[in-house]
Amino acid sequence: MLEVSGIRIHLTQLDGGDECELALCKKALAKKLRVNASQLRGIERRRRSIDARKKADIVLTFTLRAELAGGPSQEAAILSKLTRAHAEKGVRVVDEEPFGWPDAAVAPDARPVVVGAGCAGLFCALSLARAGLSPLLVERGDDAARRSRVVEAHNATGELDVESNIQYGVGGAGTFSDGKLQTGTKSPAHRLILETFVEAGAQPQILWDAKPHVGSDVLPRVVTNIVRMIEEAGGEVRCRCRMSDLDVTGGRVRSVTLTQTAADGSQTEERVAASCVILACGHSARDVFELLRERGVPMERKTFAMGVRIEHLQADVDRALYGPAAGNPALGAAPYKLSCHLPSGRSAFSFCMCPGGYVVSAASERGGVVTNGMSLSDRAGANANSGLLANVFPDDLPGDDVLAGVELQRRCERTTFAAGGGAYVAPAQLVGDFLAGTPSSAGGRVAPTYPRGVVWGSVEKCLPDYIVGTLRDALPRMGRQLHGFDVADAVLTGVETRSSSPVRVTRGADGQSVGVAGLWPVGEGAGYAGGIMSAATDGIMAARKVVEALGGGAADPAE
């Protein structure tokens, strides 16, 4: 098979349909390889990206793979011919071993327990199940279908289920997000993860889009099907089941206590013997962090970020990034990613940008307002939204309590709740007023999408002064990176506090806690991931280390 990168197709050639795009790819590939198109077999798009540096001539760039009718011998001959003509740039023969699931392992006396069914927990449990270890995956929240109904009820009534919400439940916080699958890291596991998502019902386009996304309308079905895969492979999944205690004796995990909540609200406790506990609790499981501290599990402070959600009209963002091509169906809603390093030494950045999306109520504790963002698969909403965040460094926190960052988050969330007047209504402020230091009394062109409604006023009292000052300094600078980002009637909604975990559950090179044998911290909550893809990757890699520790092997030794 040959892989060819750098195939360029001008936007003016496309009609927004997949059939047209694939036909143009085939034509361009045949031209690059200097063969008749009829000789190409099994054309596969591996990457598709948008080059909008010249807004008058936007180009889509592809990496393609194809087999030639004559097989490997013809492919080698073609490559040799291109080399002699100095035209082989971007062309290579592909003969790679795919990254796979772990090989079968020796089952321990007690099956592994995976705590948390976010992406790290789901992919860890799936890996362990396919290695024949029959893992028990426990999730404090609901299955995806019921969880969607619970979230809708919160949006409509303001009633908050503290065990099942946007933070807790199958799929984790990522289920109600844009469902972005891009990551700044590289891993051979990424392809396996994307293929698993597609097998579970995600759009095939995520296999080649440079900035793939699934959407919060599709993700519940996807994570439900991944749960089914785990069960079919021999694993067990329990929802509304919370780890309420962890027995650590002699520097080793001995058991976990699980609290199961029935449909009628009654609870039962069960002590489960466990020598292998994979901790994938997510960044909002504050009670778990407190339990770990009580049980002497080593943790450390880490840098995290807080700020607000910022909303613009998506049409304005499209024009800023795509110029006269804005609205072309082949482009879709434009995403952005901004960062700004200030003379003060602090930085601000956009986070979890949701094109054509909505600001969501992401609280998991009573009396605290938390915002986040999500997009549906079509990204057809009128607004674009993003986190506008600044870092909180360990030295910014008082005292030496490892959970001081958690307490800062909680204090900001409660202040925001009070500023909104209760019932999870959020305070909002126009960018122009925020920059001027004056409260807002009304909105402008951008209608806030936060589902519980907003109260116009000020967001600055909801955050530490160094966060507010950083965002004020950064906004005009970001406006120079993306025209209109600092427009006066853009909307700021407070507060976003859960972009990442404020603590790290310290682990060693073997993947286990440095102080507790048999405890494997993974994912965002443990401080080792920052999104769906990195969390899923961390879960798979942790499972491989567990398998190796149990005397099994791995399908692909390369990591």
Pick 333 or 182 by higher pLDDT: 333
Q: What is the mean pLDDT of residues 185-210?
A: 95
Q: pLDDT by residue (tens digit) across 218-262?
A: 999 999 999 999 999 999 999 999 999 999 999 999 999 999 999
Asked whether residue 178 is assigned to any structural domain, the reply reads yes
Query: Looking at the predicted structure, is the pLDDT value of residue 554 above 60?
Result: no
- Residues paired with residue 47 on neighbouring β-strands, in sequence order: 63
- Residues paired with residue 49 on neighbouring β-strands, in sequence order: 61
Q: Tally the domains of the chain.
A: 3
Asked whether residue 99 is assigned to any structural domain, the reply reads no
According to the model, what pLDDT value does residue 95 have? 83
pLDDT tier, 559 (very low <50, low <70, confident <90, very high otherwise): very low
Please tell me whether residues 182 and 123 are part of one structural domain. yes
Please tell me whether residues 131 and 70 are part of one structural domain. no
Contact 485, 475 (CB under 8 A): yes
Please tell me whether residues 537 and 524 are part of one structural domain. yes
Asked whether residue 103 is assigned to any structural domain, the reply reads no
What is the overall mean pLDDT for the chain?
A: 95
Please tell me whether residues 542 and 396 are part of one structural domain. no
Asked whether residue 42 is assigned to any structural domain, the reply reads yes
Question: What's the residue count for the chain?
Answer: 559
Q: What is the mean pLDDT of residues 1-17?
A: 95
Please tell me whether residues 292 and 364 are part of one structural domain. no
Q: pLDDT by residue (tens digit) across 258-316?
A: 999 998 999 999 999 999 999 999 999 999 999 999 999 999 999 999 999 999 999 99
pLDDT tier, 553 (very low <50, low <70, confident <90, very high otherwise): low
Please tell me whether residues 290 and 311 are part of one structural domain. no
According to the model, what pLDDT value does residue 551 have? 80
Q: pLDDT by residue (tens digit) across 125-156?
A: 999 999 999 999 999 999 999 999 999 999 99
- SS3 annotation, 198-241: HHCCCCHHHHCECCCECCCCCHHHHHHHHHHHHHHCCCEEEECE
Grouping H, G, I as helix, E, B as strand and the rest as coil, residue 155 is helix
Please tell me whether residues 276 and 154 are part of one structural domain. yes
Please tell me whether residues 515 and 472 are part of one structural domain. no
According to the model, what pLDDT value does residue 558 have? 41
- Of the candidate ranges 347-361, 366-380, 408-422, 544-558, the one whose mean pLDDT is the lowest: 544-558
Query: b/e map of 56-91 (b: 16 or more CB within 10 Å)?
Result: eebbbebbbbbbbeeeeeebeebbeebeeeeebeeb
According to the model, what pLDDT value does residue 552 have? 67
pLDDT tier, 556 (very low <50, low <70, confident <90, very high otherwise): very low
What range defines the domain where residue 29 resides?
2-93
Start-end of H helices in 349-502: 404-419, 431-436, 465-481
Pick 545 or 183 by higher pLDDT: 545
Q: What is the mean pLDDT of residues 442-453?
A: 98
- Residues paired with residue 426 on neighbouring β-strands, in sequence order: 454
User: Looking at 496, 525, 540, which one is the last position of a domain?
Assistant: 496
Tell me the two tokens of residue 548: 């190796």
Please tell me whether residues 353 and 290 are part of one structural domain. no
Look up residue 205 and give its amino acid. Answer: Q
CATH number at residue 86: 3.30.70.2700
DSSP E strands, 264-357: 267-273, 277-279, 299-301, 304-313, 339-341, 347-354
Query: Looking at the predicted structure, is the pLDDT value of residue 505 above 60?
Result: yes
Q: What is the mean pLDDT of residues 509-524?
A: 97
Q: How far apart are the C-alpha atoms of 389 and 16, rounded to whole Å?
A: 34
Asked whether residue 98 is assigned to any structural domain, the reply reads no
Q: What is the mean pLDDT of residues 70-86?
A: 92
Tell me the two tokens of residue 352: 């979890």
Please tell me whether residues 48 and 189 are part of one structural domain. no
Asked whether residue 76 is assigned to any structural domain, the reply reads yes
Please tell me whether residues 124 and 257 are part of one structural domain. yes
Asked whether residue 102 is assigned to any structural domain, the reply reads no
Please tell me whether residues 263 and 330 are part of one structural domain. no
Q: How far apart are the C-alpha atoms of 316 and 23, rounded to whole Å?
A: 32
Contact 390, 363 (CB under 8 A): no
Please state the separation of Cα 228 from the chain's center in Å: 21
Asked whether residue 555 is assigned to any structural domain, the reply reads no
The answer to pTM > 0.85 is: yes
